[in-house]
């Protein structure tokens, strides 16, 4: 399954063999009432469904891989067809599973039935024509995103998302930053808005056929709690970390105002999004050079520079990431991983460069797809994606319906947990630096971390909060862009660099919207990774400040981690959380523990400033 998008669903099967309706054919009229279902029937239904759907699931992943790594009109159609078959079969199975509602099933079978009914993030209407329309819209939007380019001037080279991202990361000219930001955001205005409106209508219709109010309600139901309770849990976690974010925002805004002037960065206002080093203002680490404190000891090294100086190429970047996992006692990746992954952007064709991890055959055909650049960001991203692969291999030992994370936040958190152990001590161990920075450099190191990890937290909430409102109808199509920027201001305290009316579709400039990937997993991962890190470093016998601890080389931590991974989704996520942390509730206090020295320092720097935003 690919973790650039949704969990790979289930494929079209011999519906007659399963006692289901073939698509497009009417049901025979029963002459007598159907007999009450039995536990034996339910068990047989699940076993046959898992066995037969697995083959088509694999076919869908192969088609998706080719479409993502070789974007053409034909590969889009082939991927759409495979996805359509998957959706059709899963919808029919989910509907058939409702026959067993109310039947007292053993715990394993009951959980499988629940997961089957919520397996898709994009349920389609049962009408074949509408189902075809939906899957083709989905493939078309992803293709539009993957082919997107900005052409600054006629006759000059056009820039893809990688080149545009490099401008946002390194350029310090406000006008040029604004032009690049606007150039990329124009991509999603090219017909995607109308496609997305129709996409929402059809996705909602599919969700309602499964008994959910809308597509957002279906997504929230996947978290082993009622949708309303899940929303309340998210708000509880956000309120725990909000003071830390607001302190960081206040400090960064003041430093940016020093650089660009108060007419560009107003005191007490939202930060213009194009100044934060990232197309979506989701991570701010690229502007560290603008906000680093002069009076604080610098770590004395730039990891990007060290990687380049050491001659790292894409293969060595990935080998280093793998070595971290094997140091924990986990088995190396299979040879096919190195043969079949995409590490660099091909020169001869369009590909989706968005990093993702794949389990193509649901057993051992593990891959990553990236366009690796030799820098610190991709070094950490590789650890993240490999976390998916090691987790996939562990839970692939489970029954088909349990081959996933405890919840999707667990999958995202695992690799990032390892990345938290990429400390100066570790970098010295593998020879990327010669000496560890002194404790005086901790503030600088924590600030660099916070610019990515803490800055991300409200962004992680915004995308799905916006989509849930769109799916429910609370935000109608004529207010898509207005609602998007209202949420970004409310949670992130950022604003667009220029007027953005409803002729734009700025949400579509982020891959996960046209790619239909639920995003709340990333917010949860940014909470859980610190909770995981605190627990695993304790198991590893590490002491001292949380931000200096590492699990590298700890077989005890590896055993704890593998115990959780092997559960897959066979148990509710609190059980998996307890297996790893001994706690059953998500807790953001580990984030506060990790950044406690920075919070104290930020508050001192912000004394006398007007924090927050109007």
pLDDT tens per residue across span 8-55: 332 222 222 222 222 332 333 344 456 889 999 999 999 988 987 898
- When the pLDDT of each residue in the chain is averaged and rounded to a whole number, the result is 90
Section 510-539 average pLDDT: 95
Closest CA to 147 of 71, 75, 243: 71
User: In this model, does residue 7 exceed pLDDT 80?
Assistant: no
pLDDT of residue 33: 56
Read off the pLDDT band of 91 (50, 70, 90): confident
Neighbouring C-beta atoms of residue 346, cutoff 10 Å? 11
Secondary structure (DSSP) of 529-578 = HHHHHHHHHHHTT--S-GGG---TT-HHHHHHHHHHHHTTTSS-HHHHHH
Q: Indicate the burial class of 511 (C-beta count within 10 angstroms; 0-12, 13-18, 19 or more).
A: buried
- Tally the residues of the chain: 614
Section 291-318 average pLDDT: 89
User: In this model, does residue 496 exceed pLDDT 90?
Assistant: yes
User: In this model, does residue 247 exceed pLDDT 90?
Assistant: yes
pLDDT of residue 211: 84
| pLDDT per residue as tens digits for the range 331-376 | 999 999 999 999 999 988 889 898 999 999 999 999 999 999 999 8
Q: Identify the DSSP state of 8.
A: P
CA distance 6 to 518: 7
Neighbouring C-beta atoms of residue 425, cutoff 10 Å? 14
pLDDT of residue 53: 82
pLDDT of residue 18: 26
CA distance 405 to 522: 13
Q: Identify the DSSP state of 342.
A: B
In terms of average pLDDT, the best of 1-10, 25-34, 244-253 is: 244-253
Tokens representing residue 361 in the block: 């055959």
pLDDT of residue 294: 80
- Which is it for strands 494-495 and 271-272: parallel, antiparallel or unpaired? parallel
Asked which of 1-5, 291-295, 492-496, 578-582 is least confident by mean pLDDT, the reply is: 1-5
Q: Directed axis angle between helix 555-566 and helix 520-539, to 10°?
A: 140
Asked which of 23-27, 314-318, 546-550, 581-585 is least confident by mean pLDDT, the reply is: 23-27
| pLDDT per residue as tens digits for the range 76-88 | 899 989 988 887 8
Q: Give the residue with greater pLDDT, 497 vs 296.
A: 497
pLDDT of residue 80: 87
pLDDT of residue 531: 97
pLDDT of residue 143: 87
Section 229-238 average pLDDT: 94
Give the pTM.
0.84
Section 430-456 average pLDDT: 90
CA distance 134 to 123: 9
Asked which of 163-177, 416-430, 551-565 is least confident by mean pLDDT, the reply is: 416-430
User: In this model, does residue 521 exceed pLDDT 60?
Assistant: yes
Q: Can you say whether the dihedral through the CA atoms of 309, 312, 313, 314 is positive or negative? A: negative
Q: Give the residue with greater pLDDT, 127 vs 24.
A: 127
pLDDT of residue 34: 67
Q: Give the residue with greater pLDDT, 119 vs 366.
A: 366
Using a pLDDT cut of 90, give the percent of the chain over it.
72
Q: Please tell me the number of Cα atoms within 13 Å of 213 on its side-chain side.
A: 14
Tokens representing residue 238 in the block: 């956000």
User: In this model, does residue 445 exceed pLDDT 90?
Assistant: no
Section 449-472 average pLDDT: 97
- Positions marked catalytic: 354-355, 384-385, 388, 412, 512, 522
Dihedral class, residue 85 (left if φ above 0, else alpha if ψ from -120 to 50, else beta): alpha
Q: Give the residue with greater pLDDT, 6 vs 359.
A: 359
| pLDDT per residue as tens digits for the range 388-401 | 999 999 999 999 99
| pLDDT per residue as tens digits for the range 140-166 | 998 889 888 999 887 788 999 989 999
Section 505-516 average pLDDT: 94
Tokens 């790594």 label which residue? 69
Q: Identify the DSSP state of 1.
A: -
Q: Give the residue with greater pLDDT, 214 vs 23.
A: 214
User: In this model, does residue 527 exceed pLDDT 70?
Assistant: yes
């Amino acid at each position: 399954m690919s973790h650039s998008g949704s969990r790979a669903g289930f494929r079209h099967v011999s519906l007659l063999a399963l006692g289901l309706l073939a698509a497009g054919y009417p049901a025979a009229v029963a002459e007598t009432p159907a007999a009450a279902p039995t536990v034996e029937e339910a068990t047989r239904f699940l076993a046959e469904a898992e066995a037969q759907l697995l083959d088509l699931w694999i076919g869908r992943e192969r088609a998706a891989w080719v479409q993502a790594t070789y974007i053409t009109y034909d590969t889009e159609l082939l991927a759409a067809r495979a996805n359509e078959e998957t959706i059709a079969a899963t919808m029919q199975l989910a509907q058939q599973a409702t026959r067993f509602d109310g039947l007292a099933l053993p715990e394993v079978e009951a959980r499988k039935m629940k997961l089957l009914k919520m397996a898709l993030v994009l349920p389609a209407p049962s009408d074949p024509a509408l189902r075809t329309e939906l899957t083709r819209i989905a493939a078309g939007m992803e293709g539009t995103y993957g082919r997107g380019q900005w052409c600054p001037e006629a006759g000059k080279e056009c820039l893809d998302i990688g080149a545009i991202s490099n401008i946002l990361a390194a350029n310090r000219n406000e006008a040029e930053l604004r032009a690049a930001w606007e150039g990329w955001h124009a991509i999603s205005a090219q017909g995607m808005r109308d496609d997305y409106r129709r996409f929402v209508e059809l996705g909602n219709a599919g969700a309602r056929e499964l008994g959910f109010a809308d597509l957002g309600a279906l997504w929230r139901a996947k978290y082993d709690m009622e949708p309303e309770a899940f929303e309340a849990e998210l708000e509880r976690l956000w309120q725990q970390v909000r003071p830390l974010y607001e302190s960081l925002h206040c400090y960064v805004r003041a430093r940016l105002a020093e650089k660009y002037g108060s007419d560009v960065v107003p005191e007490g206002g939202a930060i213009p999004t194009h100044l934060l080093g990232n197309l979506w203002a989701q991570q701010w680490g690229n502007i560290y050079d603008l906000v680093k404190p002069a009076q604080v000891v610098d770590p004395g090294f730039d990891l990007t520079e060290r990687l380049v100086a050491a001659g790292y190429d894409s293969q060595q970047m990935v080998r280093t990431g793998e070595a971290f996992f094997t140091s924990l006692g986990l088995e190396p990746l299979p040879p096919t991983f190195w043969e079949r992954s995409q590490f660099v952007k091909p020169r001869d064709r369009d590909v989706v460069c968005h990093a993702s991890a794949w389990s193509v055959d649901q057993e051992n055909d593990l891959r990553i797809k990236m366009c690796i650049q030799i820098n610190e960001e991709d070094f950490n991203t590789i650890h993240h994606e490999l976390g998916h692969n090691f987790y996939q291999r562990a839970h692939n030992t489970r029954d088909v319906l349990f081959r996933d994370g405890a919840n999707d936040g667990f999958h995202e958190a695992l690799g990032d947990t390892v990345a938290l152990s990429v400390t100066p001590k570790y970098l010295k161990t593998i020879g990327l630096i010669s000496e560890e920075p002194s404790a005086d450099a901790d503030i600088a190191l924590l600030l660099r971390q916070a610019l990515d990890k803490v800055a991300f937290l409200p962004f992680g909430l915004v995308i799905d909060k916006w989509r849930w409102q769109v799916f429910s109808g609370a935000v109608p199509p004529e207010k898509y862009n207005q609602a998007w920027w209202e949420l970004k201001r409310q949670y992130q305290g950022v604003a667009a660099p220029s007027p953005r009316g409803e002729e734009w579709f700025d949400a579509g400039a982020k891959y996960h919207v046209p790619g239909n990937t639920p995003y709340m997993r990333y917010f949860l991962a940014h909470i859980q990774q610190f909770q995981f890190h605190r627990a695993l470093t304790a198991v590893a016998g590490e002491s001292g400040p949380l931000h200096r601890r590492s699990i590298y080389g700890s077989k005890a931590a590896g055993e704890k981690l593998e115990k959780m991974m092997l559960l897959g989704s066979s148990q509710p996520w609190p059980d998996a959380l307890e297996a790893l942390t001994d706690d059953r509730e998500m807790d953001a206090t580990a984030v506060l523990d990790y950044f406690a020295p920075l919070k104290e320092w930020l508050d001192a720097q912000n004394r006398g400033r007007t924090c927050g935003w109007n």
